[in-house]
Amino acid sequence: MALYPANAQAIAACADKLKQGDLVALPTETVYGLAGDATNGEAIAAIYATKARPQFNPLICHVADMKAARAIGRFNDAAEKLAAAFWPGPLTLVVPRQADCPVDPLASAGLDTIALRVPAHETAQKLLRAVARPLVAPSANPSGRLSPSSAAHVSEMLPDIDVLDGGNCSIGMESSIVGCLDDAPLWLRAGGLARKDIEACLGVNLSEPPEETAQQARLAPGRLARHYAPHSNLRLNAETARDNELLIGFGATAEPCFANLSADGHLSEAAARLFSVLHEADKAAQQSGQNLAVMAIPTDGLGEAINDRLARAAA
Ligand code: TXA
Ligand code: MG
């Protein structure tokens, strides 16, 4: 519907809308989220409908601080450590729901666990404090499509939604997700916080979730093979563009590229630009009837998440 600059007046107006059960797209440091009141089942149902999201795919609940998080989930030692080290920031923790958890069960898609995150973005923080309720906010894109890292991406893909414009997302990649249930901490989704930083904080290695099965799709549906997908075909690990391909580069290269994720070969810059470049390249490729190809990206640090998103986009 409209794009609002993220000033005090717009934040107050959006907080009112959220309290009434309406949806608002909000900026976070990872990607833009399609936010709704987590205590309102109808608002959550509207999120699923707007995204055309499979009902079994649970949502991340956003809160302003640890105090609000404790009212919703139970934190074991690992969860305490990770929250102290990385919140606010690009990390989501899946923990058991509190017995009197105020979040509507629809947000957890019937699971007895809940995904929690404290975002760092100033506008997200202000909005959460103004609403004074937890907000569920999946990425503000139709299910399975590219995630939005700018307000313009949201209004292109979800033209009926009001968007608070908080600029380009500084990280540009969804949060990393760690499961902190009874057993060893689980690596559920590679994202904006590198695995090695999480493991260094915990002092143990993260465990892999069980095999890619229906059961596991329930554990972390973001792991579905085709996800984050552009409309165009995407070829990975390209060295040069073939006929009829637009090339996305990485690092110093003499190859003509449609865009370069990071000419200096910096993975944080490539992560921040990934979805913007894919959105633009996808649009250009559709207009010219071409396909996409992307150069190889190193797999260390944030490269794990970048390669994960590219593999799903290409599947
Ligand atoms: O950075 C982000 O995390 C963004 C911004 C907006 O905060 N949000 C985001 O949400 O990426 P979404 O809905 O696109 O991804 C949520 C992921 C899904 O893969 C889902 O499976 C997982 O979180 N998830 C949510 N609740 C869960 C639970 N109880 N157990 C396991 N995984 C869960
Ligand atoms: Mg998403």
Q: For residue 220, which ligand has an atom nearest its CA? A: 1
Integer angstrom CA distances of residue 93 from 45, 154, 227: 23, 25, 21
Integer angstrom CA distances of residue 281 from 145, 307, 308: 14, 17, 19
Tens of pLDDT along the chain (315 residues) come to 689 999 999 999 999 999 999 999 999 999 999 999 999 988 998 898 899 876 667 899 999 999 999 999 999 999 999 999 999 999 999 999 999 999 988 888 778 899 999 999 999 999 999 999 999 999 999 988 999 999 999 999 999 999 999 999 999 999 999 999 977 999 999 999 999 999 999 999 999 887 654 454 555 555 555 667 889 999 999 999 999 999 999 999 999 999 999 999 999 889 888 988 998 999 999 999 999 999 999 999 889 989 988 998 898
Q: Which atom of ligand 1 is nearest to the CA of 174?
A: 1
What is the rounded distance in angstroms from the CA atom of residue 69 to the CA atom of residue 119?
12
For domain 3-217, give the CATH superfamily: DHBP synthase (3.90.870.10)
**pLDDT tens, residue by residue, 142-192:** 988 999 999 999 999 999 999 999 999 999 999 999 999 977 999 999 999
| Residue 248 token pair | 């996305």
Q: Which of 59, 63, 111 to mutate to test the pocket of ligand 1 (most atoms within 8 A of CB)?
A: 59
Q: Which atom of ligand 1 is nearest to the CA of 92?
A: 3
Distance of CA 60 to the CA centre of its chain: 9
- Can you give the pLDDT at residue 272? 84
Q: In a 3-state reduction of DSSP, which class is residue 293?
A: strand
Residues having CB within 6 Å of any atom of ligand 1: 28, 30-31, 33, 57-60, 92, 94, 108, 111, 113-115, 117, 137-139, 174-175, 177, 188-189, 219-222
| End-to-end CA, the chain | 32
Pairing status of strand 113-117 against strand 91-96:
antiparallel
Tell how far the Cα of 245 is from the centroid of ligand 1, in angstroms.
32
Beta strands, E only, the chain: 3-5, 24-26, 33-37, 60-62, 91-96, 113-117, 135-136, 162-165, 176-179, 186-189, 234-238, 245-249, 259-260, 291-295
Integer angstrom CA distances of residue 12 from 22, 123, 173, 281: 14, 11, 27, 36
Q: Which of 163, 176, 177, 187 to mutate to test the pocket of ligand 1 (most atoms within 8 A of CB)?
A: 177
The count of other CB atoms within 10 Å of the CB of residue 21 is: 14
Tell how far the Cα of 141 is from the centroid of ligand 1, in angstroms.
13
Q: Which atom of ligand 1 is nearest to the CA of 189?
A: 19
Q: For residue 33, which ligand has an atom nearest its CA? A: 1
Tell how far the Cα of 267 is from the centroid of ligand 2, in angstroms.
21
Angle at 59 between CA 210 and CA 165, to 5 degrees: 130
Tell how far the Cα of 305 is from the centroid of ligand 2, in angstroms.
13
For domain 234-314, give the CATH superfamily: Threonylcarbamoyl-AMP synthase, C-terminal domain (3.40.50.11030)
**Closest Cα partner for 307 from 90, 222, 299?**
299
Q: Which atom of ligand 1 is nearest to the CA of 222?
A: 19
Tell how far the Cα of 141 is from the centroid of ligand 2, in angstroms.
7
Tell how far the Cα of 92 is from the centroid of ligand 1, in angstroms.
8
Q: Across the chain, what does the average pLDDT equal?
A: 91
What sign does the dihedral 54-55-56-60 (CA atoms) show? positive
- Can you give the pLDDT at residue 209? 81
**Main-chain dihedrals φ then ψ at residue 182, nearest 5 degrees:** -75, -35
Place of tokens 């103004």: 130
The count of other CB atoms within 10 Å of the CB of residue 138 is: 24
**Closest Cα partner for 66 from 55, 49, 76, 80?**
80
What is the rounded distance in angstroms from the CA atom of residue 287 to the CA atom of residue 273?
21
Please, is 81 exposed, middle or buried when counting C-beta atoms within 10 Å of its C-beta (0-12, 13-18, 19+)?
A: middle
Give the domain ranges of the chain: 3-217, 234-314
Q: Which of 92, 136, 216 to mutate to test the pocket of ligand 1 (most atoms within 8 A of CB)?
A: 92
pTM: 0.87
